[in-house]
A and B are shown apart, each in its own frame.
Chain A
Amino acid sequence: MQKRTFPAELESLAPIRDFVRAQAAPVLDTPAVYKLVLAVDELSTNVVIHGYGKRGIAGHLDVAVSIQDGFVSVTLEDQAPPFDASVAALPTPEMLSAPLEDRHPGGLGLMLIRDGVDIFHYERAGDRNRNTLIKHLADCRRPE
C-alpha cells in the first residue's frame, strides 16, 4: 500500500491525481485509470470545499492506494465534519437531459464518483471520514 498526506486545499488536487494515477496505471487500462482518478478528484474536491473550506478549518487529506489481487482500492481520510457522499442524491435522468438553460450543475461530482468505481463505501472512524473507492480489475485490467 502506498500512502501520502496532502494539505486539504485546491492546489493539492493535481498532486493527488498524479499520485493515484501513478499507482493505478500499471494495472488498470487507460479509461479505467481516468475514471478512477476522476472519482478521487471529485471526492477530494468535496472534502476540500465542503468538508473543510465552508467551515473555515484547515486540515489534511490522507490518500492510500492499494493494489490487491483482483482490485484497486483507494482510501481517503479526513477530519472534517461527518459527511456521507455515498448516499447523497444523484441527478435524475430528467435533470441530466434538461436544456442547458434550465440545468443545475449540482450532484454531477457525486455521479462521477459512483460511475468511476465499482464500490463506494463511507464510514466514520473516530473523528475521521473514511471514503473507500474500489475498482475491480476483471473488466479493465491493463493488457500485459
Chain B
Amino acid sequence: MGLMIDTTLDGEQANIALTGELDASTVAQFKREVARVAATERFSVLCLRMQELGFLASAGLGALLEVYRTVSPRAAVVLVDVTDDVRATLEKTGFAKRMTLRSSSEL
C-alpha cells in the first residue's frame, strides 16, 4: 500500500496527513517531507494526522523521535486521530506518555 503524504498549512498550524503504512520501506519518504516542511514553512504546531495510518512499525517510531527532536525546539508536535492499533504500539513503547495525542475535535 505504501505511504501517501498530504501537507497543508493553516495559519500557524502545519498538517501532515499520513495515509497507508509507515514502515522501514516508507520511513525515508516521511522524514524527507517533515524536513522539507521544517526548512521552508513557519508554524508553531505540527499536527501529524494519523487517522488513515493503518500500520506503524518501529522504524516509524524512530522517525517520530527524529521528527520530535527536529521540530520541538520551535513548535509543538501533536499526533492526531491515532487508530487503536497504532495507539497500542505507542502505549507499549512509552511514546504515548511522552508525545501529545489528540483527536481532531480537541484541536
Q: Which residues of chain A have a CB within 8 Å of any CB of chain B?
A: 10-11, 13-14, 17, 31, 34-35, 37-38, 41-42, 45, 48-49, 91, 96-101, 103, 105, 108-109, 111-112, 115
| Interface secondary structure of B, over-half rule | helix
Chain B residues with CB under 8 Å of chain A are 1-2, 21, 23-25, 55, 57-59, 61-62, 65, 68-69, 72, 84-85, 88-89, 92-95, 97-99
The 10 A-B pairs at the shortest CB distance, nearest first, are namely: A96-B94, A105-B62, A10-B25, A109-B58, A108-B58, A34-B85, A45-B24, A100-B98, A100-B68, A13-B25
Q: Contact at B92–A111, with CB atoms within 8 Å?
A: yes
* B93 A108 Cβ-Cβ under 8 A: yes
**Known A14-B2, A97-B94, A100-B68; contact A45-B88, beta-carbon cutoff 8 A:** no
Contact B1 A14 (CB under 8 A): yes
> Known contacts A17-B55, A99-B98, A111-B93: does B25 contact A105 (CB below 8 Å)?
no
Q: Are A109 and B1 in contact (CB under 8 A)?
A: no
| Known contacts A31-B85, A31-B88, A103-B65; is-contact A112 B58 (Cβ 8 Å) | yes
Question: What are 28 pairs between A and B in contact, CB < 8 Å?
Answer: A10-B25, A13-B23, A13-B24, A13-B25, A14-B2, A14-B25, A17-B55, A34-B55, A34-B88, A38-B89, A41-B23, A41-B55, A42-B57, A45-B57, A45-B59, A99-B98, A100-B68, A100-B69, A100-B72, A100-B95, A105-B58, A105-B61, A105-B62, A108-B62, A111-B93, A112-B92, A112-B93, A115-B92
A42: which B residues are within 8 A, CB to CB? 57-58
